[in-house]
Structures are given as structure tokens and as C-alpha cells.
Amino acid sequence: MLSIKNLTKKFGPKVAVDRLSIEIKPGEIFALIGPNGSGKTTTIKIITGLLQPTDGSVTVADCDVTKQPIKAKAALGYIPDEPSIWSGMTGEEFLHFTGSLYGMPTSRRIERIRSLLDDFALKGLEKEYFENYSRGNKQKFTIIAALMHEPKLLLIDEPIVGLDPTSAEIAKKKFVEFSKKGGAVLLATHTLPVAEEIATRIGVLASGRLVATGSMSELRSRSKVSSGASLEQVYMAFTS
């Protein structure tokens, strides 16, 4: 579903992503963890086409993101860490606009909007303008927009920023449900409890390099921490 091979991104002399290789299969939730500045967001922006790689390749559903950008983007949904939506649109207008970009017929858009609004407890708020939404509701509409066209790959950058505990729980369940239906998820976060809770595999990123990858049990074994150690303890073992 997602194949990243020897990906490198430089900004002048600074190497933001250093020969990164990751394979994510359908049904997997892969959490990419690391501190701010470790290359997580840069990696996601390259996958979405917002940045061009210096070297290496990225394919989404067998489509090269550089050579076949339209096909690659059609297969993915993107949830950024900061909602960026024109304040003059209502939530409903934004979702219809997003769905139309993916060629969804009106009847299907209406069906998906109704279902997803119910899932995220937003029914009745869809006709309000974005400028009037709370930070959390803006984020929930952004999540819905990424799920609208039922993508094959979901890219999530800090998924629960701004969400209250109830909404965060709804979002996490939705991501797990998405993967169980055969979708692939790349979750970039430094919120380690979220990664530990829902990820099937975890990659530890430090200074643009992948220093460890595996399931929680595999990472515990490799880092030589106790069998019941938290992801935070595992992370510190690999990065300290």
C-alpha cells in the first residue's frame, strides 16, 4: 500500500530525512514516533506531494507520488496537524467540496456526510461557518474530509491535537476501524500513548533516520527493557 525506499530530503546542508525505508501493508497502522524536528511531518508532506524528495522513492497503491501524483493522491486521505480551511465555508460545503475533488457523485457525498457527522457527533453543526467552530470541531471536520472518499491510505499528523477526550476516543476507534476494513494508516506523532494503543507496528525516528521498527513486543526485546515496559521507556532506550 505504501512503499518508501531510501527517502532523503535536504534543506540546504540540513538533512531532514535520511535514507528512510518503510513498507506499510493493508490493514496495518504504522506509527512513526520521534521528537519535533525528527522528520515526521517532512516525510508525510513528501508522501502527499507537498514537498519533493531529494532522493529515493515513494509509492502509494503502486503509484509513484512524483511520477503519478494524481493517481497517488486519489488513493490517500490526509489529516494535517493544523486544520487549514477557508473560514467562509460551512462544514457541509467543505465536505461536499472535498468529495467533489475525488469525483464522488452528489448522492454518495450526502450519504457519507450524514454517516460521518453522526459518527463524530457533529450533526446540526454542519451549516455553521468554519470561523465559528472550536479548534476541536475544525479538527473533526478535517478528519471527516480525509475519510470521505474511502481512501486506501490514511496519513495522520498528530491526530488528536485539539480534541477533547471523547472526540479523541471516537477518532482512534475510527482509525482502527479503517485499518480493519483493509486500509493502511501512517500515524506520525510524539503522543506516545496513542501510538502504543492503536499501532500494529512502530518506527522510531531520530534526526531523520529510522533507528528501530517493529511491534511493541519486538521493540521491547530489542531495547532490552522489561516485558511490560511502556512505549515511552522503549523510546528513551533507543534515543538516549
88 contact partners, CB below 8 Å, separation of at least 6: 129, 130, 131
In this prediction, residue 239 carries a pLDDT of 85
Work out the average pLDDT over 54-81.
95
CA angle 196, 209, 53 (to 5 degrees): 110
CA angle 104, 97, 148 (to 5 degrees): 50
The rounded mean pLDDT for the chain is: 93
* For helices 135-147 and 91-101, angle between their N-to-C axes, nearest 10 degrees: 30
Work out the average pLDDT over 37-43.
92
Q: Tell me: the pLDDT tens digits for 196-236?
A: 999 999 999 999 999 999 999 999 998 888 888 999 999 99
On the 0-12 / 13-18 / 19+ scale of CB atoms within 10 A, 83 is buried
**Other C-beta atoms lying within 10 Å of the C-beta of residue 64:** 14
Percent of the chain with pLDDT over 90: 80
Does the structural domain 1-83+151-237 have CATH classification 3.40.50.300? yes
Q: Where are the domains of the chain?
A: 1-83+151-237
